[in-house]
Structure 1
Amino acid sequence: MRRWFAFALCLLFVSMTAHPAASQDLKIAAVVNDDIITVIDLLVRTRVAMVASHVPDTVENRQRLSGLVLRSLIDEHLKTQAAKSQGVTVEEADVTARLNALAQQNNITLEEFKKRLAASGILIDSLADQFRADIAWQVVVRKRFRNAATVSRKDIDDELAQIKENEGKPEYLVGEIFLPVYAPSDSAAVEATGKDLMSQLEQGANFNDLAQQFSQSPTASTGGILGWLRADQLDAGMRNAVTAMTKGQITGPIQTSGGYSILTLLDQRIAASDQVDEKAVADRLTTQRLDTLARGYLSDLRTQAFVDIRQ
């Protein structure tokens, strides 16, 4: 396969040399194992991300976000490769459902959403590919970590005891945009990217929209919502920030386990134990475990992969 890939790259180079007009569009932005991400792929996805997250399409914004979009594309290819190697396929009905949900968030029909994208020079296929990779990844994670994420009766009882013990204490409804750091040498660049996203939020960008496009966490599909959490359930890096925030505030990037996070406090309440839904408790514990395992698995894939960034 590697030999075939090298041969294909040679053919691509010859083709680009013979047709200079096409060379810019086919210029390689990154190589991910046996996959190529072209400059045109990066430009299209950057535009999709800006339109979907309602970020003004300016040269400055494109430059600020292109690095993050490229990181997202690399991770997307790794997820797709993992799904393919494990025989995971995605039903088109599931992709359409995600597209419909996004259109509804914008208070328009899917057809109107397609027209709006087309008016911006974007085919909805680009967004569909993104959702397809995300759905496939969710299947991979559930299959791979089904046993490791299983919640026992004791786990539920222990959590119920914690809820009872913390009755009357604050709980926080938190949103997160998570940006992973795969190697120590990447830390400064990731933090800088987080600052770029923070500047977009300060200029009025919607947190949920940015989370859906840029967060590298399984919660991205729900706009980055982590759910109701007590202080003791928060990542150590988040705890001081969240407990000091007021409702509606956004802060970050702050260093958390495995990367940097931008956080928002959506709401706050006093914990009560008289109306606890055991199924909701079990679902939340499972989701938290899958999130942690998925982050670790993607980090391992990135560490083991051949990634050559040229852009």
Structure 2
Amino acid sequence: MRMVLAARVLTALAITVVTALAAPVRAANPYAPAFTVNSSVVTEYDIDQRMKLLDALGANGDLRKTAIQQLTEDRVKLQAAKAIGITLPEGAIQSGIEEFATNRGLTADDVTEVLQVRGIDQQTMNDFVQSGLMWREVLGSRFRARAMPTDADLDQAMALQAKRPREMLYMAEIALPFAERSEAETVTLANQIYAQVSRGASFADLAQQYSRSGTAEQGGALPPVSASQLPSDFRSQVLLLRPGQTTRPMPISGGLALIKLLSIKQEPPDAKAVDTPEARDQLRKQLFSERIANFGQGYLQELLGDALIVQK
């Protein structure tokens, strides 16, 4: 019995030693596999690059956890597209980057500038955009007919919209243009300001000191805006905040900005909103986007549930 126990202890000790020795080797090799998704490899370098991209876009929370989740989802999205023979035409990724930039109020050149400043490979951005474009095609192929709203759906939605209170966002900004400092110095300053805000420093005071927007004198306070009027990617980022929270430094045209969500208020419906062909077309696109996103989330969970994910 003692010999068995001793053997177990020695085995456990050997495993501990091997693990301890292997850990530095893996850390020293950024291209070491971190995990596989249906045999598709995700490396430590992939994770590090996605974390940098998330940080550059102002993401909050555990960036490594989010990066791993996104990379896992990207792999199954690409595999689903491959399974039904979807390919992207030439120039689609660049068009996708331009669309991504527009949705954030940026230009493609702004995106390139941010990638260079943050040490993010262009391929990392290309992969990020590619998975989104391929997934869009997958969802369109599977769910377009079911997601498209009918005229009756639009009539009902227009009637509800005329009665629904508007969700108004009250925000403040600190805008830091690259032109005033070098890009690297601007990134450093933005991160320092974010750290101060996170420790409880006054956002309004920092805005008055550092922001180069016309709102600086008012502590960065912006005019209230309807959530539906914000660029889609920017809106989703801000709505992840609770009132009083601030985004990480995020790219804006020609620089970086920190956005603080001050409050969200419900205000009376817009009396000027009328049932016009333009309004119906906009609402049709909105309903279609919401529906296909819901279908897509359910389908993605199915794919993840069936996926073989192996940690290395």
TM-score range, shorter chain: 0.5 to 0.7
Query: Structure 1: where are the runs of 5+ without partners?
Result: 1-16, 56-60, 175-198, 205-220, 227-237, 252-262
The equivalences for 1:1-311 within 5 A come to 24-50=29-55, 52-53=56-57, 64-100=62-98, 110=109, 113-114=111-112, 117-164=115-162, 166=163, 169-172=164-167, 203=198, 222-223=232-233, 225=235, 269-271=267-269, 272=271, 275-276=274-275, 277-310=279-312
Query: Moved runs in structure 1, 4+ residues, more than 4 A?
Result: 20-23, 101-109, 248-251, 263-269
Structure 1 residue 163, shift from structure 2 partner: 3.3
Quickly say closer, same or farther: Cα 1:224–1:21, change in 2 above 3 A. closer
Q: Which amino acid aligns with 1:76?
A: D
Contact kept in structure 1, 2:167 and 2:265, CA below 8 Å: yes
Once the two structures are superposed, what CA deviation does each residue of 1:11-38 show, in whole Å capped at 9, x if it has no partner? xxxxxx9xx7997233221110120111
Quickly say closer, same or farther: Cα 1:121–1:156, change in 2 above 3 A. closer
Larger Rg: 2
d(CA) in 2 for partners of 1:288 and 1:173? Answer: 20
Contact kept in structure 2, 1:42 and 1:69, CA below 8 Å: yes
Quickly say closer, same or farther: Cα 1:222–1:273, change in 2 above 3 A. closer
The SS at the match of 2:144 is coil
The SS at the match of 1:223 is helix
Name the stretch that deviates more: 138-147 or 278-287: 278-287
d(CA) in 2 for partners of 1:107 and 1:148? Answer: 33
Structure 1 residue 305, shift from structure 2 partner: 0.8
Q: Which amino acid aligns with 1:40?
A: Y
d(CA) in 2 for partners of 1:173 and 1:121? Answer: 36
Structure 1 residue 298, shift from structure 2 partner: 0.7
Q: Which amino acid aligns with 1:67?
A: K
d(CA) in 2 for partners of 1:173 and 1:299? Answer: 32
CA RMSD of aligned residues (A): 4.1
The SS at the match of 1:281 is helix
Quickly say closer, same or farther: Cα 1:113–1:223, change in 2 above 3 A. closer
Once the two structures are superposed, what CA deviation does each residue of 1:173-210 show, in whole Å capped at 9, x if it has no partner? 68xxxxxxxxxxxxxxxxxxxxxxxx99x748xxxxxx
Contact kept in structure 2, 1:28 and 1:39, CA below 8 Å: yes
Contact kept in structure 1, 2:98 and 2:107, CA below 8 Å: no
Query: Structure 2: where are the runs of 5+ without partners?
Result: 1-21, 170-193, 204-230, 247-260
Quickly say closer, same or farther: Cα 1:305–1:108, change in 2 above 3 A. closer
Q: Percent identity?
A: 21
The SS at the match of 1:138 is helix
Structure 1 residue 249, shift from structure 2 partner: 5.6
Once the two structures are superposed, what CA deviation does each residue of 1:234-270 show, in whole Å capped at 9, x if it has no partner? xxxx9xx99xx8xx7659xxxxxxxxxxx99777542
Q: Which amino acid aligns with 1:133?
A: S
Structure 1 residue 309, shift from structure 2 partner: 3.5
Structure 1 residue 133, shift from structure 2 partner: 0.8
Once the two structures are superposed, what CA deviation does each residue of 1:42-98 show, in whole Å capped at 9, x if it has no partner? 122222322x3257xxxxx9x931121011100011111111111112234232133
Quickly say closer, same or farther: Cα 1:66–1:286, change in 2 above 3 A. same
**Counterpart residue number, 2:189:** none
**Counterpart residue number, 1:211:** none
**Counterpart residue number, 2:227:** none
